């Protein structure tokens, strides 16, 4: 990592990343790194990242889905399956710290540019691969998507109402969690490289992530060997920890200890409830949660949801109104925390990590396909004439190509 001369734009503004990933896990990982200051070049296949088409909604012919995970990146397109494309790739890698890709395991090796080949030329390169199942094991090399992995990794079995067959989480948390794990792994590899001077291969999979995020259900199973029940909005280990109706909007309460439960009962007007032997501690409250729920619903029936949840929160009881996407994105606290941003007509979510000295930044809105072709390759010492010739040869692309039929 060589320090650039630009103004500091984040804690890792000296890191250069080549993002050859598509869809969600990989792009989310690299966007996180870009938000923290890293320079990201997104190398798309000739057909482009398919999420550019994942709409509606669209804005200026770009899908909102794509725009949500591809800011702070420059876009180019290069056919790296061809030797001429690989020659350019190698030239780019001379000044790259991290390569992120999510090709099917074995694809880059088939092209002769797998990690083992690359490390001979670029020993300091950190190569991060995001995949469905990894490269080893009975399912190694097979494709995987978030919903499939939610089903396989037991998420359906713990999500939904008791009488249901289980439901998919409405947020692709396995994809996003894989991106988070990948960004953590890359940062750790960069730290290790400062000691060893060597790069390494990093593998992060949707399958492993889906299992790793199974808390507390896996921990409970290791101890009890019992299949957890689907409990809807309730918690398997804590009570009261659920959504509750009020006179106006529903609220959610997360009461984690006896002190909070006592405050809750006092605020709701029943100071004697904590002394009831059925509710003396969390274990008893979990055992008798159905009865407790009925009592709390009655106590909340004449309360304004937003007012009572704010009162509880300020009294030390975790509680809040159940909001819509519009509700939370326009919330005063959301705006105060800079969690909604605008950049050159692009609207997106803010950066959730706040640094005192080196805050990250939104420097570039999501790119249109290959919009940075001439800038990126001129910086590599390739002339405009050479770039134009490479475009004619279909090594570089400035227009998306039609998807190849199988």
Which residues have a catalytic role annotated?
A: 175
Helix 289-300 and helix 258-268: axis angle, to 10°? 40
Instruction: State the helix-helix crossing angle for 173-196 and 25-35, rounded to 10 degrees.
Output: 50
Task: Please state, as a whole number, how many other Cβ atoms lie within 10 Å of the Cβ of residue 119.
Answer: 16
Closest CA to 167 of 176, 175, 158: 158
CA distance 390 to 315: 66
- Are 265 and 274 in contact by the 8 Å Cβ rule? The answer is yes
Q: Give the C-alpha separation, 18 to 191, whole Å.
A: 18
Dihedral sign for Cα 184, 186, 187, 191, please.
Answer: positive
Q: How many residues does the chain have?
A: 406
φ, ψ at 18 (rounded to 5°): -105, 115
Q: Residue with structure tokens 């290959």? A: 370
Is the peptide bond between 57 and the residue preceding it cis, with omega within 30 degrees of 0?
yes
369 forms beta bridges with: none
SS3 of 326, please?
A: helix
Burial-class residue 139 by CB neighbours within 10 Å (0-12, 13-18, 19+).
middle
């Amino acid at each position: 990592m060589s320090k650039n001369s630009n103004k500091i734009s984040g804690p890792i503004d000296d890191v250069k990343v080549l993002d050859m990933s598509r869809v969600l896990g990989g792009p989310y990982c690299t966007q996180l790194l870009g938000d923290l200051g890293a320079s990201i070049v997104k190398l798309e296949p000739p057909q482009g990242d398919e999420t550019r088409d994942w709409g509606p909604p669209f804005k200026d012919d770009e899908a909102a889905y794509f725009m949500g995970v591809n800011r702070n990146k420059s876009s180019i397109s290069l056919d790296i399956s061809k030797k001429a494309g690989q020659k350019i790739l190698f030239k780019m890698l001379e000044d790259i710290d991290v390569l992120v890709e999510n090709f099917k395991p074995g694809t880059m090796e088939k092209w002769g540019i797998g990690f083992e080949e690359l490390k001979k030329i670029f020993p300091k390169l950190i190569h991060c691969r995001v995949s469905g199942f990894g490269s080893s094991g009975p399912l190694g090399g097979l494709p995987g998507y978030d919903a499939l992995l939610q089903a396989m990794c037991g998420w359906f079995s713990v999500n939904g109402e008791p009488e249901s067959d289980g439901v998919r989480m409405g947020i692709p948390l396995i994809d996003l969690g894989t991106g988070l794990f990948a960004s953590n792994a890359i940062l750790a590899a960069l730290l290790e490289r400062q000691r060893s001077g060597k790069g390494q291969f990093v593998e992060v999979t949707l399958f492993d992530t889906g299992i790793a995020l199974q808390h507390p259900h896996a921990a409970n199973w290791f101890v009890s060997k019992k299949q957890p029940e689907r409990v809807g909005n309730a918690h398997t280990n804590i009570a009261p920890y659920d959504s509750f109706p009020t006179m106006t909007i529903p609220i959610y309460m997360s009461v984690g200890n006896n002190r909070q439960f006592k405050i809750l009962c006092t605020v709701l007007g029943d100071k004697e409830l904590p002394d009831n032997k059925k509710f003396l501690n969390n274990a008893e409250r979990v055992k008798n949660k159905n009865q407790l729920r009925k009592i709390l619903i009655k106590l909340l029936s004449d309360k304004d949801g937003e007012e009572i949840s704010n009162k509880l929160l300020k009294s030390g009881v975790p509680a809040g109104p159940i909001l819509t996407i519009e509700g939370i994105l326009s919330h005063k606290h959301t705006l105060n925390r800079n969690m909604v941003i605008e950049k050159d007509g692009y609207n997106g979510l803010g950066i959730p990590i706040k640094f005192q000295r080196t805050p990250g930044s939104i420097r570039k809105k999501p790119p249109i396909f290959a919009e940075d072709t001439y800038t990126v390759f001129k910086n590599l010492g390739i002339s405009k004439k050479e770039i134009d010739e490479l475009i004619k040869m279909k090594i570089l692309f400035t227009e998306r190509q039609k998807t190849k039929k199988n």
